Amino acid sequence: MHRLIIQTEAMLYEFRKHIPTDCKTAKSIDRNDSWDRVATFAKDDGFLDLAEQLKESKYQLLKQTH
């Protein structure tokens, strides 16, 4: 479980370095918003792969905890 959280956060950190500072996704990551909120902004900004990865990580995390 902890590995998934660390991997997802590392993925977000790396992704953030490569996107414009003024996009909604960057601002959401900078605020340390929830994965769901970041995914919503990512989808709006056209980062569909990121949105899907965040939803999959959340699903896997929920699956591991139940």
So what's the pLDDT on residue 9?
97
pTM (predicted TM-score): 0.91
Q: Of 5, 51, 7, 49, which Cα lies nearest the Cα of 28?
A: 51
Please give the single-letter amino acid code of residue 10: A
Domain residues for 10? 2-65
pLDDT digits (tens, 9 = 90+) for 9-20: 999 999 999 999
So what's the pLDDT on residue 47?
98
So what's the pLDDT on residue 60?
94
pLDDT digits (tens, 9 = 90+) for 29-50: 999 999 999 999 999 999 999 9
Counted domains in the chain? 1
